[in-house]
Amino acid sequence: MGGNPPGLAHRQPKAVSSSNERPGPESGAADSGCGLCGAGSAFVRYDFGAHRILRCPGCTFMWLDPQPSAAELHEVYGADYYRNEQFFDAGGDTIYGYHDYLSERFVKQQDLKRVVDRISTLLGGTGEGGDGRGAEVRGQRFLDVGCGLGYLLDVAHDRGFAVEGIDYNRSAVDWIARKYRFSAACGDFMAYEGEPCDAVTMLDVIEHLPQPFDALAKAASLTRPGGIFAVSTMDCDSFVSRLLGQRLEDFRRTREHLYFFNRRTMRACLERAGFEVLRIDTYGLTIRLDALMKRARLAVPGIGAGLERLVRWAGLSRQQIHFDPRTKMIVYARRTAGS
C-alpha cells in the first residue's frame, strides 16, 4: 500500500457493543449505521483496547472504531512508511508500513507480473482467461491507485501499457520520479482527474481508505466500459483469517487498516459501483524465509521464534518461496456499460 487516503469527510460507524458476541434484543445495542447495508447494529469482533473492529451482523462488513484523524493518517504515511525499523517490535503502534520495502522490489514483482498478465488476458476478451500473456496491450492506459514505489507500474510499463499512478505519500512519488521513466501524481485519489483507462488497479489499498465505497465509484468512473479493475485486500472471513483472529497482522494494523472485506461484501461493493466480478482468487506472496518467519512471530510468537531459529540454523534464511496463507484475495472485475 502506498498510503492514499482520500478526503476524510465521511460518516464513520459508531461503536455499539462492548461484547464479542452478536448483539441480541437485550444487549442495548444502539444505532451503528453500517456503511455498506445501513443495518442499525454492530458488535465488537476484535478488541485492541484503544481500537475495536466492529462487524455488521447483517452483511458481515467490518470496520475499525474509532477511525484515525486526518493528522494521524498523514503521520503514518510519512518518509519511514517503506522502511519501518520497528515493524517487528510487535507493538500495536509499530505495525504499519513495511520493514524494508526497497529490498523486496524484485521479490514482489514476481507476483505483480502474474497480476499484469491476468489483466492482459482479460482485456483480450477471453472470459476468465488463462495464465498466459493475453492480449496485445501496447499503448493501453493503466492506472495504479496507491502506487507506492511504482513496482506494479514498472511491470505494466515493461509489458507495454501506458502507465500512470497516484499516491498520497510524497516520498514515494518523488522516488518514482528519480527511479523510473514514468511519473506518478501525489495527492487525493478522490480529486484525481483523468481520462478513463483500460485497466485500473488498487492493490492493498482499499482497506486504507476512509471512503472505500466512494473510492470504488471513483475507480469505476476512471475505468472505460469493458475495462478491467483489479483490487486486492484481506479476506477477513477466510479460514486462516478467522483461525488467527486478532493475532493476524492485517487486523493489528490499527493505524492504517480501516475497513475489512470478505468475498461477499467485496462483490457487493463492486457490483454497486458498476463492475461485473469476473473472478476472485487467493493472493499469496513470494517472500524470503527469514522475512516469513519474522511475520509468523508477530502472529504466534512462540512457534514463530522457533521456526525463525530453525531456518537460520539450516542456512535457509535467503531462500525464497511462494506462500499463500489464503488470508488475502484479489478480485478482477469488468466495468459494465451504461452504469
Mean pLDDT, 10 residues at a time, over the chain (339 residues)? 40 41 32 81 94 96 94 88 83 78 92 97 64 69 98 96 96 95 94 96 97 98 98 98 95 95 98 98 91 85 88 89 93 89
The three grid cell numbers given for residue 272, joined into one nine-digit string: 454497486
Q: Given this model, what pLDDT does residue 87 score?
A: 83
Q: Given this model, what pLDDT does residue 302 score?
A: 86
Residues 122, 277, 44, 10, CA torsion sign: positive
Q: Given this model, what pLDDT does residue 257 score?
A: 97
d(CA 206, CA 133): 26
Q: Do the Cβ atoms of 166 and 189 come closer than 8 Å?
A: yes
Q: Given this model, what pLDDT does residue 5 score?
A: 41
Q: Given this model, what pLDDT does residue 32 score?
A: 55
Q: Do the Cβ atoms of 286 and 320 come closer than 8 Å?
A: yes
- Burial pattern 216-240, b for ≥16 Cβ within 10 A else e, equals bbbbbebbbeebbbbbbbbbbbbee
Q: Do the Cβ atoms of 226 and 335 come closer than 8 Å?
A: yes
Q: Where are the domains of the chain?
A: 102-287+321-335, 288-320
User: β-strand 275-282 against 223-234: which pairing, if any?
Assistant: unpaired
Q: Given this model, what pLDDT does residue 14 score?
A: 42
Cis preceding linkage at 68, omega within 30: no
Q: Which residue has cell 512462540?
A: 302
Nearest to 176 by CA among 200, 208, 144, 219: 144
d(CA 272, CA 140): 26
Nearest to 6 by CA among 297, 179, 197, 259: 259
CATH class of 102-287+321-335: alpha beta
Q: Do the Cβ atoms of 14 and 38 come closer than 8 Å?
A: no
Enclosing H/E stretch for 169: none
> Is 173 buried (19+), middle (13-18) or exposed (0-12) by CB count in 10 A?
buried
pTM, two decimal places: 0.86
Cis preceding linkage at 66, omega within 30: yes
Q: Do the Cβ atoms of 191 and 220 come closer than 8 Å?
A: no
